Amino acid sequence: MNFLLGAIDPIAFSLGPIDVRWYGVIIASGIVLAFIVAQTEMVKRGFHPEFLTDLLIWAIPLAILGARSYYVLFKWEYYVANPAQIFQVWEGGLAIHGALIVSFIVAYVFTKKRKESFLKVADIAAPSILIGQTIGRWGNFINQEAHGGPVSRGFLENIFLPDWIIEQMEIDGIYFHPTFLYESVWNFTGVMFLILLRRFNLLRGEMFLFYIIWYSIGRFFIEGMRTDSLYLIGDLRTAQVVSLLSVAIATIIFVYRRVTIKKAIHYKDA
């Protein structure tokens, strides 16, 4: 990678005829770090050391499939005309909402089969999910995608970005908002927030709800800046609609449970 001579080469290294891209390396790194953090907490909370590994064996490939399927679905007119590109995941085109939806479904089914509490697992995993998302956005940076609208170089310099980020945000002579960075910082702040919340006596499931609310608020505003959004109908951005619905539903569930649950199970309970 040469940070001084313009755009970063998206290929990290080659193994014979196989090119290994930074996008995949970064996504994999985010998964590994998220796993380490979640695994530490889960073992501390009494789960079998192989529980999370067994879950991820199913969740990771299905999440990738969900992320790609979601993206292709909302760009169907393009992919129906270019079907060979549906499988070119290395070029980008993974929608995080698709990955999250599938992951939550897989986790729910898996925990039911193992006779464990889905909400307990989701609470423990919530900070780690944000860790993965924090790191994963840098894959978009390498691919020069998921950026915002045009800005001046002076704007990027005024928010104290290093030259290697500024140069990567130049595409065809135009500089763009580093929305990948905005979301990465927002997500990392959310990690710190959720870890802090562990000190409080939250009800089981509330860490997970706070994760949904935090991520969705940030995504709603940042999505409005992006130039590559998926659209639901007309100018209605899919990610913004999903984010608004997520905040509303999570907030309603939070309030409802606080009002109606009499004998509450808390986050720290076995």
The answer to whether residue 211 is domain-embedded is no
Q: Report the number of distinct structural domains present in the chain.
A: 1
The answer to whether residue 59 is domain-embedded is yes
The answer to whether residue 5 is domain-embedded is no
Any idea what DSSP says for residue 265?
P
* Tokens read off for 31: 């998964």
In the chain, the DSSP E strands lie at: 11-15, 18-21, 150-151, 170-171, 174-176, 231-233, 236-237
Per DSSP, the three-state class of 95 is coil
- Give tens-digit pLDDT for 122-148: 999 999 999 999 999 999 999 999 999
- Give tens-digit pLDDT for 3-57: 444 679 999 999 989 889 999 999 999 999 999 999 999 999 999 999 999 999 9
Per DSSP, the three-state class of 114 is coil
State the pTM of this model: 0.92
The answer to whether residue 244 is domain-embedded is no
What residue numbers bound the domain in which 62 lies?
11-201
Q: How many CB atoms lie within 10 A of CB 262?
A: 4
The answer to whether residue 258 is domain-embedded is no
How many Cα atoms within 13 Å fall on the side-chain side of residue 205? 15
What's the rounded mean pLDDT across residues 149-162?
97
Q: What are phi and psi of 240, to 5 degrees?
A: -70, -40
The answer to whether residue 52 is domain-embedded is yes
* Tokens read off for 247: 């905040």
Let me know: does 51 contact 118? Beta carbons within 8 Å: no
Q: Where are the alpha helices (DSSP H) in 21-113?
A: 22-44, 51-73, 76-81, 96-113
The answer to whether residue 230 is domain-embedded is no
- Give tens-digit pLDDT for 217-248: 999 999 999 999 999 988 899 999 999 999 99
Cα–Cα distance for residue pair 96/102, rounded to 1 Å: 10
Per DSSP, the three-state class of 227 is coil
The answer to whether residue 186 is domain-embedded is yes
